[in-house]
Chain A
Amino acid sequence: MIEYVGVLMFLAAGALLAAAATTVSGLVAPHNPTREKLMPYECGENPVGSPWGVQFNIRFYVFVLVFLIFDVEAVMLVPWAVVLKELGTPALIAGFIFIGMLVLGLADVWRKGDLEWVREEERAALKTAPKNAKAA
């Protein structure tokens, strides 16, 4: 068990650090709340509804998935790069095949318009919508 004490200490130190940071900022920071400041920050989207059931725009999920792919790519490539020299040419080729597949994936989402926040079809739909919709 004793070898886990280090982990415990890390946990404690981490918690302490986080607590200290928030406490200090609470003590030091001026406190002039306004409506905008009290709003939870969600990447520029105005939150709707109560904080217990926050509804995210479904588009975020697409971005998260795409992000995940390339995040995992990085995770896979780092160990690959570390031992590349020992493994030699086959590993190099394998790595490039791997990257090639991911590039293909990127090309796919790009081409399908999934990297646009508002897709082509939707934009066209928005254009045809009545002008006063926004004002209302």
Chain B
Amino acid sequence: MSDFFWLIPLIPGVGALINGLFGKRLPKPVIHGVAIGAVALSFLIALGCFFGPFLSGGGETVLEKTLFTWIPGMSAAQADGTMADFTALWQYRLDALSMVMVLVVTGIGLLIHIYSMGYMSHDPGYWRFFTYLNLFTFFMLNLVLGANFLMMFIGWEGVGLCSYLLIGFWFERDSAANAGKKAFIVNRIGDAGFILAIFLIFYTFGTVDFYEVMAGVSAQFDSPEAGWGVLTAIGLLLFVGATGKSAQIPLYVWLPDAMEGPTPVSALIHAATMVTAGVYMVARSAVLFEHAPNAMLVVAIVGVSTAVFAASIGLFQNDIKKVLAYSTVSQLGYMFLGLGMGAYAAAIFHLMTHAFFKACLFLGSGSVIHTMEHAEHASGGHRDYTEMQDMRNMGGLLKHMPKTGWTFIIATTALAGIPLTAGFFSKDEILWSATHGGHVTLFWIVGVIAAGMTAFYMTRQVILTFFGEFRGGEKMASHLHESPSSMTIPLMVLAVGSIVAGYVGLPFGASLIGPFLAPALNAGMPIEAEAHHASVAVELMFMGASVLVGLCAIFLAYRMYWGKPEGDKAVSEGWPGVYRTLYNKYFVDEIYGATVVDGTLGGASALNAFDAEVVDGAVNGAAKLTLGVSDLSNLADASLVDGLVNAVWKVLAGVSNGLRHLQTGVLQNYALMMMVGIGALIGFFYYYLWT
């Protein structure tokens, strides 16, 4: 099985090809059969790889397969003045880090594919949707399996494209089309940083292969770079790419808007997989970042800021998906905090658990929205889809859809960090790592505040959605029902995962995932002894403090919202300024609009004006100069010209009228006769003259 690991990314690609070319004409069962089958097959192979070589060989296992030479040797200049052959192989490499990512992508991807079967069942773009999903899976797997930066970049751009296509899936909505464009454009900024980083990497190390680059880092730099050197530059440029893809400050603005896409997309791309590509990338370059402490500091600061910033925005949002979107941004911030603190394994661990519970939450919210919209249709209402996603119109849904409700609550506990759930273990790992280094208190405190906010808004969400009385109107209430099993079964699987997934990373040095990932994070190089050993008591103390904060937040939310759906009033009336700022997301979109967008447009129109006035002027001037030769007297004597033309016309029109019926058809005869003449001449020659 493991010999065929390179088929993992290719199978969904084939699925996308089939559905893309023929899907329009295929029946729905065939479409989702192909799409789900492809992902399932990939997942099976991934499981085979995991339970085969990886379980027996541990974290050191590396599988490699070169399909072909993508870019053959191309001479290019190096930093040290020599020339190197720039070569890029189309090579897949499966190591421990990739293994985890592949399992997440194919496993969660499979569940979401199944879920989509129900969620999208009435959409006319069914085939298109599954094509895009498979295509996304293909690119995402390329991203995590590629053995070099260039392969990763292909996947990186590919998932960006799919994300754009899926956000704008309902392109007939202006808001969806605009959100797609916004995502794409914001991502371009990050991509520019990424590709510059690749240039710089090749320029410095003469290769783009991950392992070779990391070996080069260790060989060329024996100690961490003190100031702001080339490694820091590479690290920061890579991180620019990561802020785009993983929605960190300042490029996070596209992710909340991306909720315009279908909910399975939000779950798969904008919660579980694609947005974590930045985390994966930084983890992949762990050796490099280890040698660039300043870059790591930037990563940590941006991460923790994003975590608290996004969490605070999430506090008072009313759209069920928007809350989850800001929560995702916030959780990604946690992961970067972990990366910045050097706890790469913890970040990947949180990535994994987050994938479970956030996917579960998104799919649950999708299930709720699905039900809401069906009920609205059934009761004859025509309210906008934004109304259907508004938590103020929900309430008491637990008794109508218990499966969705309970799985949602389980995932919420995980996200809120209730002890013994998956989220508790992984978040704790990161917060624990935040106590290391020289910034102990600040990072830890901010992180814990963000965790508290998370617990608060999730509790608020659960109460507003599932408890109390239904606020959507009498007519709708009778039509509320549980979603089909194709949707609830994935929810249940994910809910189980939200608890169980945490037990691979137990605290106090009992973690399985940490040692498993270590060789891959060290790029296959020997691992130095672990430097940091803290006492269990200290760790327990920090853990207890953060759990306490979380529980307090939950209690606060309970007091504010239980039985009082309008609980926001306590804040909006008490501190109206604070509420307005948070509710309006710190006015960031408005600020960007006024500065970046208007600035760009203004610059564009200024350039345009320059082009029109100066350049065109110069061109026209040159042209006029040329004409000037012929334009010595420029008084147009129109009447004279007209008179002349008309006179010619009158005189000659009479003549030509009489000749109109003359036919020109004889011309063909002329040509024919000429050809006959040529033939005759040749014949003449042939019989009499050729000697």
Name A's B-contacting residues (CB within 8 A). 24, 27-28, 30, 103, 106-108, 110-111, 120-121, 124
Task: In the A-B complex, list the 3 residue pairs whose CB atoms are closest, starting with the nearest.
Answer: A27-B21, A111-B630, A107-B630
The B575-623 residues at the A interface (CB cut-off 8 A) are 623
Chain A residues, Cβ within 8 Å of B629: 107
**Interface presence of B386 (CB below 8 A):** no
B626 contacts which of A27, A107, A121 (Cβ < 8 Å)?
A: A107
Chain B residues, Cβ within 8 Å of A30: 24
**Interface presence of B22 (CB below 8 A):** yes
Contact between B627 and A24 (Cβ–Cβ < 8 Å)?
Answer: no
**Interface presence of B67 (CB below 8 A):** no
Chain A residues, Cβ within 8 Å of B642: 121, 124
Contact between B638 and A28 (Cβ–Cβ < 8 Å)?
Answer: no
Contact between A121 and B645 (Cβ–Cβ < 8 Å)?
Answer: yes
Q: With A107-B630, A111-B630 known to touch, is A124 a contact of B638 (CB < 8 Å)?
A: yes
**Interface presence of B537 (CB below 8 A):** no
The B617-643 residues at the A interface (CB cut-off 8 A) are 623, 626-627, 629-631, 636, 638, 641-642
Contact between A111 and B627 (Cβ–Cβ < 8 Å)?
Answer: yes
Chain A residues, Cβ within 8 Å of B630: 107-108, 111
A121 contacts which of B24, B627, B641 (Cβ < 8 Å)?
A: B641
Complex formed: what's the CA distance from A132 to B642 in Å? 23
- The chain A residue with its CB closest to the CB of B638 is A124
Contact between B645 and A106 (Cβ–Cβ < 8 Å)?
Answer: no
- The chain B residue with its CB closest to the CB of A31 is B24
**Interface presence of B216 (CB below 8 A):** no
Over the window 11-23 of chain B, the binary record of Cβ atoms lying under 8 Å from chain A Cβ atoms (1 yes, 0 no) is 0000000001110
Complex formed: what's the CA distance from A103 to B627 in Å? 10
Whole-angstrom distance from the CB of A28 to the nearest CB of chain B?
A: 6
Complex formed: what's the CA distance from A110 to B645 in Å? 19
Whole-angstrom distance from the CB of A110 to the nearest CB of chain B?
A: 6
Complex formed: what's the CA distance from A121 to B641 in Å? 8
Whole-angstrom distance from the CB of B131 to the nearest CB of chain A?
A: 9
Interface size bucket, B side? 10 to 19
Chain A residues, Cβ within 8 Å of B627: 107, 110-111
14 sample A-B contacts, Cβ–Cβ < 8 Å, listed by A number: A27-B22, A27-B24, A28-B20, A28-B24, A106-B626, A107-B627, A107-B629, A108-B630, A110-B623, A111-B627, A111-B630, A120-B636, A121-B641, A124-B638
Whole-angstrom distance from the CB of B342 to the nearest CB of chain A?
A: 47
Complex formed: what's the CA distance from A120 to B641 in Å? 10
Chain A residues, Cβ within 8 Å of B21: 24, 27-28
Total A-B Cβ pairs within 8 A = 28
Whole-angstrom distance from the CB of B488 to the nearest CB of chain A?
A: 33
Mostly helix, strand, loop or mixed at chain B's interface?
A: helix
Chain B residues, Cβ within 8 Å of A120: 636, 638
- The chain A residue with its CB closest to the CB of B641 is A121
Complex formed: what's the CA distance from A107 to B24 in Å? 55
Whole-angstrom distance from the CB of A49 to the nearest CB of chain B?
A: 21
Chain A residues, Cβ within 8 Å of B636: 120
Whole-angstrom distance from the CB of A104 to the nearest CB of chain B?
A: 9
Complex formed: what's the CA distance from A72 to B655 in Å? 39
Task: Supply 13 further A-B pairs (C-beta < 8 A) apart from A27-B22, A28-B21.
Answer: A27-B21, A30-B24, A103-B626, A107-B627, A107-B630, A111-B630, A111-B631, A120-B636, A120-B638, A121-B638, A121-B641, A121-B645, A124-B638
Complex formed: what's the CA distance from A28 to B18 in Å? 11
Whole-angstrom distance from the CB of A101 to the nearest CB of chain B?
A: 13
Chain B residues, Cβ within 8 Å of A110: 623, 627
Complex formed: what's the CA distance from A106 to B629 in Å? 12
Whole-angstrom distance from the CB of B639 to the nearest CB of chain A?
A: 10
Complex formed: what's the CA distance from A108 to B631 in Å? 11
Chain B residues, Cβ within 8 Å of A103: 626
Chain A residues, Cβ within 8 Å of B623: 110
Complex formed: what's the CA distance from A114 to B655 in Å? 27
Whole-angstrom distance from the CB of B393 to the nearest CB of chain A?
A: 35
Chain B residues, Cβ within 8 Å of A111: 627, 630-631
Complex formed: what's the CA distance from A124 to B639 in Å? 10
Over the window 637-655 of chain B, the binary record of Cβ atoms lying under 8 Å from chain A Cβ atoms (1 yes, 0 no) is 0100110010000000000
- The chain A residue with its CB closest to the CB of B630 is A111
- The chain B residue with its CB closest to the CB of A24 is B21
- The chain A residue with its CB closest to the CB of B645 is A121
Complex formed: what's the CA distance from A27 to B636 in Å? 58
Chain B residues, Cβ within 8 Å of A107: 626-627, 629-630
Chain A residues, Cβ within 8 Å of B626: 103, 106-107
Complex formed: what's the CA distance from A27 to B638 in Å? 57
Complex formed: what's the CA distance from A36 to B499 in Å? 58
Choose among A28, A30, A120 the residue with the greatest number of B CB atoms under 10 Å from its CB: A28
Complex formed: what's the CA distance from A30 to B20 in Å? 12
Chain A residues, Cβ within 8 Å of B645: 121
Complex formed: what's the CA distance from A28 to B626 in Å? 51
Complex formed: what's the CA distance from A30 to B25 in Å? 11
Chain A residues, Cβ within 8 Å of B641: 121
Whole-angstrom distance from the CB of B13 to the nearest CB of chain A?
A: 16
Chain B residues, Cβ within 8 Å of A27: 21-22, 24
Complex formed: what's the CA distance from A111 to B634 in Å? 11
Complex formed: what's the CA distance from A121 to B24 in Å? 55
Whole-angstrom distance from the CB of B491 to the nearest CB of chain A?
A: 33
Complex formed: what's the CA distance from A120 to B637 in Å? 12
Whole-angstrom distance from the CB of A112 to the nearest CB of chain B?
A: 10
Complex formed: what's the CA distance from A121 to B623 in Å? 23
The B16-69 residues at the A interface (CB cut-off 8 A) are 20-22, 24
Chain B residues, Cβ within 8 Å of A108: 630
Complex formed: what's the CA distance from A99 to B627 in Å? 15
Complex formed: what's the CA distance from A124 to B21 in Å? 55
- The chain B residue with its CB closest to the CB of A128 is B642
Complex formed: what's the CA distance from A3 to B630 in Å? 55
Complex formed: what's the CA distance from A124 to B627 in Å? 23
Complex formed: what's the CA distance from A111 to B642 in Å? 16
Chain B residues, Cβ within 8 Å of A124: 638, 642
Complex formed: what's the CA distance from A106 to B623 in Å? 10
Complex formed: what's the CA distance from A108 to B627 in Å? 9
Chain B residues, Cβ within 8 Å of A106: 626
Complex formed: what's the CA distance from A107 to B631 in Å? 10
